[in-house]
Amino acid sequence: MTPAVPHGQRWRDRDSAFVKPMHLFNPSAFDVEPIGLDRIAKGFVTQHHYSGTYPAARFRFGLYRRGELVGVAVFSHPCRDDVLTNVFPGTATDSVELGRFVLLDEVGFNGETWFLARAFELLRAEGLRGVVSFSDPMPRDRADGTVVFAGHMGTIYQAFNGVFLGQATRRTIRLLPNGTTFSARAAQKIRSHDRGWEYSIAQLVKAGAPPLEDGEETREWLRTWLPRITRTRQHPGNLKYAWALNKQTRRGLPMSKPYPKRAAA
């Protein structure tokens, strides 16, 4: 259950936590800088974010407290160009997706919006026109029932004046025992032997499936073990937000739809 009071979601070792308003963020103790090495941002995100995954990064910014990395914002390119160009017409490289946004549990309340503002300034200096991001309202739990991600409605994006563009279509997803998603794309890679199919096999083996034997047909192996290892859930659809980084682009954005709110517990 999420807190009934305003809060900020934080992470450590893939477990979420919440920081309350009385634990205020002190900007004077923090700096925001580009992260030059992709492995640094990737290591931080995969260690702490509940998904354990890292997107196709274009820009990486770090939140530092006296030189210690305590937050990462990764601006990435989505799987499809039209995720960006449907919002910001033109070339897909003119805009980016906020692919991962992770702050440790020690960062105070309101740290998110301060960090985002600094990151957006850096993107603006690079000539970017806009940013899109998605919030995932669906909670995730481990097989034992432990909640690892409470879901979020984009409260921080709303506080940062994001334009709410609507909700994606409902779909069925599969959860691994640790609460992370085993994507439909990963399953298709196994069926078709597309690039990365061995990694998808390894995900299921790590979760408890037996290794693929020599000569064993991958489709049959997947058909047997996918329903045994994963759990199906109905996902309500991610929530989409957007920000323009200059006045001209802002004029082309639609009016925001009413912000979604979580129903009272």
Question: What's the pLDDT tens digit per position in 14-51?
Answer: 555 565 555 778 899 999 999 999 999 999 999 988 77
Least confident of 45-59, 88-102, 121-135, 162-176: 45-59
Mean pLDDT of 90-97: 96
Mean pLDDT of 143-169: 91
Which DSSP string corresponds to 63-106?
Answer: EEETTEEEEEEEEE--SSTHHHHTTS-S-GGGEEEEEEEEEBTT
| Residues 25 and 100 placed together within one structural domain of the fold | yes
Higher pLDDT, 114 or 262: 114
Sign, Cα dihedral of 73, 12, 175, 216: positive
| Residues 71 and 133 placed together within one structural domain of the fold | yes
1 domain-assigned? no
| Residues 202 and 88 placed together within one structural domain of the fold | no
Query: Tell me, what's the pLDDT at 10?
Result: 58
How far is 254 from 85, CA to CA, in rounded Å? 14
| Residues 146 and 227 placed together within one structural domain of the fold | no
Q: Which residue has the tokens 């029932």?
A: 145
Query: Tell me, what's the pLDDT at 24?
Result: 79
Query: Tell me, what's the pLDDT at 1?
Result: 31
CATH number of the domain enclosing 22: 3.40.630.30
Residue range 185-196, pLDDT digits in tens = 999 999 999 999
68 domain-assigned? yes
| Residues 123 and 205 placed together within one structural domain of the fold | no
Residue range 213-250, pLDDT digits in tens = 988 999 999 999 999 999 999 999 999 999 999 999 99
pTM exceeds 0.75, yes or no: yes
141 domain-assigned? yes
| Residues 165 and 214 placed together within one structural domain of the fold | no
- Number of other CB atoms surrounding residue 18 within 10 Å: 16
Nearest CA-CA partner of 135 in 166, 107, 113: 166
3 domain-assigned? no
2 domain-assigned? no
Higher pLDDT, 63 or 147: 63
| Residues 225 and 130 placed together within one structural domain of the fold | no
Domain of 122? 8-169+237-252
| Residues 96 and 65 placed together within one structural domain of the fold | yes
pLDDT tier, 9 (very low <50, low <70, confident <90, very high otherwise) = low
Per the structure, the count of domains in the chain is: 2
Query: Tell me, what's the pLDDT at 52?
Result: 80
259 domain-assigned? no
